């Protein structure tokens, strides 16, 4: 094979290599680089075109003068392709660096510049057969020079601008390949400009073409490596971001619950000492609403910082575990944990005072005793904090014994919920009688639970738990339903009717749907509203006096009667009571049963209050004839108590015989 054949072969291989690189550019790289890689692919396709066309020109040179014009055209297209190749690479670089959309004008400018350049390189001497040297100088020499400069510029730009994923192997290989391409093109140009420097021998040219081919192949490999690395970097960055999101509370910048548990899991074993301290920002929503979310987040951040201060070697992590709760994990147990918790609490409390607005915080903590999981300890600490806050304390340590009774409560409330649907609950009725005549005035419905294993339970055994666990709404609705049913049955049977009072929990009293629910039940059972009385405790009404008083007004407007129960046992002032317009006051049992004069004095005062307000008064818990006598003397018009009638499933008698009353007044039992 002679040198010319080698040259032809090398040029053909270069064309193939360039086309292959176009394909490679298309095949690799992430979708984020879609535009860049299309430009690069097009650019290398154009380079392939250049090699193919210059090969054609070369072959046409030997084909005779009749092919001269075709040869000129193919040279023109070859030069255009080469310049387009350089222009597109430049464009791709620019797009990748500036991350901007491709402007049409820019593309047009690149194409026009390539065309103009090609005309300048091809036209001079094109039709002059004697001007072969000029043609070679322009089409080979100047072209190589321009190409060398362009590749060098590309290499410089790449060198100056560090890619986002850092300078990797692929990056250096690409740089090296462009450098070599620039070098070989420069040497190629020098063959034409400084002919003496290197002998213008075909062998030299062939070696140069081989160098160019190898540089192109190097560039292909380098691009493959680089794009691969780049794709991987993008994927890794995404994974890291996703992981961060899972473990981070974005708003505050603190770790979240998952993040804290993960950190604990990573740095401790199941036997390692571990203490979790929880801080609750009281009335957080109100503060956020009033002082703004930015203030609230800054407050959380600073409180988190305070919790993390001190004894750094024991600190495992601080996190925002709820919208208004922070937690800190400490690698300590025993007295060490107690001391550490106290120190952190002090830091946080000091910080809470200096946030521009004093913030109330409460704390709870739990110390690992028997390989408890971190999540369990966190829940325990939260529970202790809730208890502390509910009982007005600043901090409480979680006690497992307490947890057992809490668990019992959870269990009993679950059973109670099932009991509602299984007829284990029932009502007993207790009569309220006229103090003078012993005639039945009204009836109070009282709930009971026949527990499958614990037997008959009085309301005191299960209502407090129901209250704490949000079940009172269900229970009150159940009682309302049963009371109305019982009244309807009696009515349908033509039996005498008196109003029935039912007890209403605080939650139901303040519930927006109460009035409508009562109205619906009365309508469904065809009952006049005056047959229903709702007993409201003073303390329930005082939770929100304004709301309570408007609900009471709405109920009374409906025609339903309202009684104030357990009067005198709450914390309300008389001025608050003044605003609650009720139909009846019920004097609490404790005043009637109180042997000391003070309780009796209060009972008498309530009776007098009722008289002057024109409100009915009932004395509860009348157990002895002596108490009855006192109630009568104090002018209490209605009485309720075991002396007169004990609660029972049966309807109370229409009249009872009262001690000190003429016999024979009893009404026939129903
Ligand atoms: P309360 O509303 O003050 O009900 C009166 C309580 O005093 C009843 O206890 C009744 O059995 C009891 N009692 C009546 N007369 C005497 C007496 O002469 N001596 C003594 N020692 N006790 C007497 P009970 O049935 O155990 O109810 C306790 C509390 O449970 C009630 O106090 C009421 O607050 C609540 N409750 C009862 N049933 C219901 C209900 O259906 N719904 C709601 N929300 N609460 C209820
Ligand atoms: Ca009551
Ligand atoms: Ca009562």
pLDDT for the residue 433: 98
Ligand 1 binding pocket includes 647 (Cβ within 6 Å): yes
Contacts of 286 (CB under 8 A, 6+ apart): none
**316-352 pLDDT, tens digit each:** 999 999 999 999 999 998 889 999 999 999 999 999 9
| Domain-embedded: residue 465 | no
Query: Counting ligands in written order, which one lies closest to the CA of residue 566?
Result: 3
**DSSP 3-state assignment of 269?**
coil
Pocket test for ligand 1, best of 416, 429, 431, 446 (most atoms within 8 A of CB): 446
Tokens 């914390």 appear where? 571
Q: How far is the CA of 620 from the centre of ligand 2 (A)?
A: 9
pLDDT for the residue 560: 98
Domain closes at, from 196, 215, 241:
241
For helices 293-308 and 284-291, angle between their N-to-C axes, nearest 10 degrees: 130
CA distances 592 to 137, 240, 431, 613, Å, are 124, 71, 17, 21
pTM of the model: 0.61
**106-137 pLDDT, tens digit each:** 889 999 999 999 999 888 877 777 777 788 88
Ligand 1 binding pocket includes 588 (Cβ within 6 Å): no
Q: Are residues 258 and 236 in the same domain?
A: no
Sign of the Cα pseudo-torsion (634, 635, 641, 643, in order): positive
Q: Are residues 483 and 616 in the same domain?
A: yes
Cα separation, 456 vs 25, whole angstroms: 82
Cβ count within 10 A of residue 613? 14
Q: How far is the CA of 586 from the centre of ligand 1 (A)?
A: 12
Helix (H) or strand (E) holding 545: helix 545-558
Tokens 């009749």 appear where? 66
pLDDT for the residue 325: 97
**Three-point CA angle 41, 47, 49, nearest 5°:** 105
Cα separation, 338 vs 336, whole angstroms: 6
Query: Counting ligands in written order, which one lies closest to the CA of residue 618?
Result: 3
User: Closest Cα to atom 30, ligand 1: which residue?
Assistant: 459
Q: What CATH number corresponds to the domain at position 537?
A: 3.20.20.450
Query: Counting ligands in written order, which one lies closest to the CA of residue 567?
Result: 3
| Domain-embedded: residue 657 | yes
Cα separation, 112 vs 115, whole angstroms: 5
Contacts of 55 (CB under 8 A, 6+ apart): 8, 11, 12, 15
Q: How far is the CA of 447 from the centre of ligand 1 (A)?
A: 8
Q: Which of 88, 155, 103, 144 is nearest to 121 (CA)?
A: 144
E-strand stretches of 341-493: 361-367, 395-397, 425-434, 440-451, 455-457
**Three-point CA angle 576, 580, 582, nearest 5°:** 145
| Domain-embedded: residue 53 | yes
| Domain-embedded: residue 461 | no
CA distances 117 to 78, 87, 244, 331, Å, are 11, 11, 52, 73
**DSSP 3-state assignment of 89?**
helix
Cα separation, 188 vs 30, whole angstroms: 36
Query: Counting ligands in written order, which one lies closest to the CA of residue 430?
Result: 1
Tokens at 603, concatenated: 């009972």
Tokens at 320, concatenated: 């925002």
Tokens at 175, concatenated: 């740089």
Cα separation, 112 vs 80, whole angstroms: 10
Cα separation, 649 vs 427, whole angstroms: 6
Tokens at 261, concatenated: 């548990």
| Domain-embedded: residue 421 | no
Q: Which atom of ligand 1 is the closest one to the Cα of 504? A: 44
Cα separation, 391 vs 418, whole angstroms: 30
Ligand 1 binding pocket includes 503 (Cβ within 6 Å): yes
Pocket test for ligand 1, best of 479, 484, 503 (most atoms within 8 A of CB): 503
- Residues in the chain predicted with pLDDT less than 50, given as ranges, are 663-670
Q: What CATH number corresponds to the domain at position 87?
A: 1.20.1070
Ligand 1 binding pocket includes 356 (Cβ within 6 Å): no
Q: Are residues 206 and 74 in the same domain?
A: yes
E-strand stretches of 273-421: 275-281, 315-322, 325-330, 361-367, 395-397
Q: Contact, 317 vs 263, CB < 8 A?
A: yes
Sheet order of strands, 325-330 included: 255-256, 315-322, 325-330, 275-281, 361-367, 395-397
Ligand 1 binding pocket includes 621 (Cβ within 6 Å): yes
Cα separation, 188 vs 11, whole angstroms: 14
pLDDT for the residue 29: 55
Q: Which of 24, 29, 169 is nearest to 96 (CA)?
A: 29
Q: Which of 561, 572, 510 is nearest to 535 (CA)?
A: 561
Q: How far is the CA of 556 from the centre of ligand 3 (A)?
A: 20
User: Closest Cα to atom 35, ligand 1: which residue?
Assistant: 459
Ligand 1 binding pocket includes 500 (Cβ within 6 Å): no
Q: Could you tell me the residue range of the domain that residue 617 belongs to?
A: 429-447+476-662
Q: Are residues 298 and 217 in the same domain?
A: no
Q: Contact, 47 vs 16, CB < 8 A?
A: no
Q: Are residues 159 and 124 in the same domain?
A: yes
Q: How far is the CA of 456 from the centre of ligand 1 (A)?
A: 15
| Domain-embedded: residue 530 | yes
Q: Are residues 169 and 305 in the same domain?
A: no
User: Closest Cα to atom 43, ligand 1: which residue?
Assistant: 503
| Domain-embedded: residue 417 | no
Ligand 1 binding pocket includes 459 (Cβ within 6 Å): yes
Q: Could you write out the DSSP letters of every residue in 477-509?
A: HHHHHHHHHHHHHHHHTT-----EEEEE-HHHH
User: Ligand 2 (ion): which residues have CB within 5 A?
Assistant: 503, 535, 565
* Three-class secondary structure assignment of 171-197: HHHHHHHHHHHHHHHHHHHHHHHCCCC
User: Closest Cα to atom 12, ligand 1: which residue?
Assistant: 621
Domain closes at, from 210, 241, 272:
241
| Domain-embedded: residue 90 | yes
**DSSP 3-state assignment of 360?**
coil
For helices 625-634 and 597-613, angle between their N-to-C axes, nearest 10 degrees: 40
Tokens at 228, concatenated: 């691969």
Q: Which atom of ligand 1 is the closest one to the Cα of 428? A: 25
Cα separation, 437 vs 434, whole angstroms: 6
Cα separation, 614 vs 59, whole angstroms: 124
How many domains is the chain partitioned into structurally? 3
Which residues, in sequence order, are bridge partners of residue 561? 533
Q: Are residues 49 and 163 in the same domain?
A: yes
Contacts of 355 (CB under 8 A, 6+ apart): 295, 298, 299, 302, 303
Q: Which atom of ligand 1 is the closest one to the Cα of 508? A: 44
Q: What CATH number corresponds to the domain at position 340?
A: 3.30.70.270
Q: Are residues 496 and 628 in the same domain?
A: yes
User: Closest Cα to atom 46, ligand 1: which residue?
Assistant: 503
Domain closes at, from 241, 272, 289:
241
Q: Are residues 103 and 12 in the same domain?
A: yes
Tokens at 625, concatenated: 């004839």
Phi and psi at residue 530, to the nearest 5°: -70, -10
Q: Which of 242, 278, 247, 284 is nearest to 262 (CA)?
A: 247
Q: Are residues 262 and 237 in the same domain?
A: no
Cβ count within 10 A of residue 596? 7
User: Closest Cα to atom 25, ligand 1: which residue?
Assistant: 446
Q: Are residues 354 and 320 in the same domain?
A: yes
Q: Which of 410, 501, 425, 409 is nearest to 458 (CA)?
A: 425
Q: Contact, 220 vs 17, CB < 8 A?
A: yes
Q: Are residues 294 and 439 in the same domain?
A: no
């Amino acid at each position: 094979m002679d040198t010319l054949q080698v040259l032809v072969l090398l040029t053909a291989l270069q064309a193939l290599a360039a086309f292959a690189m176009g394909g490679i550019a298309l095949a690799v790289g992430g979708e984020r680089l879609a535009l860049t890689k299309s430009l690069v692919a097009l650019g290398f396709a154009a380079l392939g075109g250049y090699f193919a066309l210059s090969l054609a020109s070369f072959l046409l040179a030997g084909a005779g003068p009749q092919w001269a014009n075709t040869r000129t055209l193919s040279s023109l297209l070859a030069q255009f392709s080469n310049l387009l190749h350089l222009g597109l690479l430049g464009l791709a670089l620019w797009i990748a660096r500036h991350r901007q959309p491709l402007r049409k004008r820019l593309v047009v400018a690149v194409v026009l510049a390539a065309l103009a350049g090609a005309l300048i390189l091809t036209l001079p001497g094109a039709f002059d057969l004697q001007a072969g040297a000029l043609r070679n100088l322009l089409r080979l020499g100047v072209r190589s020079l321009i190409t060398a400069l362009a590749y060098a510029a590309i290499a410089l730009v790449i060198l100056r601008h560090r890619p986002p994923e850092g300078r990797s192997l692929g990056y250096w290989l690409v740089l090296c390949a462009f450098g070599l391409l620039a070098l070989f093109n420069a040497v190629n140009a020098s063959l034409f400009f400084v002919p003496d420097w290197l002998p213008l021998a075909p062998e030299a040219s062939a070696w140069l073409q081989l160098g160019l081919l190898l540089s192109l192949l190097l560039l292909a490999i380098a691009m493959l490596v680089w794009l691969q690395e780049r794709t991987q970097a993008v994927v890794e960055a995404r994974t890291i971001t996703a992981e961060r999101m899972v473990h981070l509370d974005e708003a505050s910048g603190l770790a979240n619950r998952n993040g804290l548990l993960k950190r604990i899991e990573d740095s401790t074993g199941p036997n390692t000492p571990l203490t979790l301290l929880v801080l609750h920002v009281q009335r957080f929503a109100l503060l956020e609403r009033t002082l703004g979310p930015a203030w609230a987040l800054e407050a959380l951040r600073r409180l988190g910082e305070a919790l993390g201060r001190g004894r750094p070697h024991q600190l495992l992590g601080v996190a925002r575990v709820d919208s208004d709760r922070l937690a800190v994990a400490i690698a300590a147990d025993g007295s060490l944990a107690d001391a550490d918790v106290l120190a952190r609490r002090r830091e946080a409390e000091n910080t809470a005072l200096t946030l521009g607005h004093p913030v109330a915080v409460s704390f709870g903590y739990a110390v690992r005793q028997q390989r408890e999981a971190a999540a369990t300890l966190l829940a325990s600490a939260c529970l202790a904090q809730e208890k502390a806050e509910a009982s007005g304390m600043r901090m409480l340590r979680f006690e497992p014994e307490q947890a057992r009774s809490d668990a019992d409560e959870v269990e009993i409330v679950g059973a109670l919920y099932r009991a509602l649907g299984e007829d284990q609950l029932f009502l007993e009725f207790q009569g309220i009688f006229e103090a003078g005549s012993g005639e039945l005035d009204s009836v109070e419905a009282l709930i009971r639970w026949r527990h499958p294993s614990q037997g008959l339970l009085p309301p005191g055994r299960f209502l407090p738990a129901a209250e704490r666990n949000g079940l009172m709404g269900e229970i009150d609705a159940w009682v309302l339903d049963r009371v109305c049913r019982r009244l309807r049955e009696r009515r349908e049977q033509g039996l005498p009717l008196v109003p029935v009072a039912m007890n209403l929990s605080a939650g139901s009293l303040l519930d927006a749907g109460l009035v409508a629910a009562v109205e619906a039940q009365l309508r469904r059972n065809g009952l006049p509203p005056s047959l229903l009385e709702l007993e409201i405790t003073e303390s329930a009404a005082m939770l929100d006096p304004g709301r309570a008083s408007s609900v009471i007004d709405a109920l009374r407007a409906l025609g339903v009667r309202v009684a104030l129960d357990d009067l005198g046992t709450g914390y309300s002032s008389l001025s608050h009571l003044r605003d609650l317009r009720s139909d009846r006051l019920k004097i609490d049992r404790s005043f009637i049963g109180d042997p000391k004069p003070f309780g009796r004095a209060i009972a008498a005062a309530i009776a007098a209050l009722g008289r002057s307000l024109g409100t009915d008064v009932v004395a509860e818990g009348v157990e002895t004839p002596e108490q009855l006598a006192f109630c009568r003397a104090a002018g209490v018009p209605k009485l309720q108590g075991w002396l007169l009638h004990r609660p029972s499933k049966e309807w109370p008698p229409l009249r009872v015989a009262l001690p000190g009353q003429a016999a024979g007044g009893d009404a026939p039992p129903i």
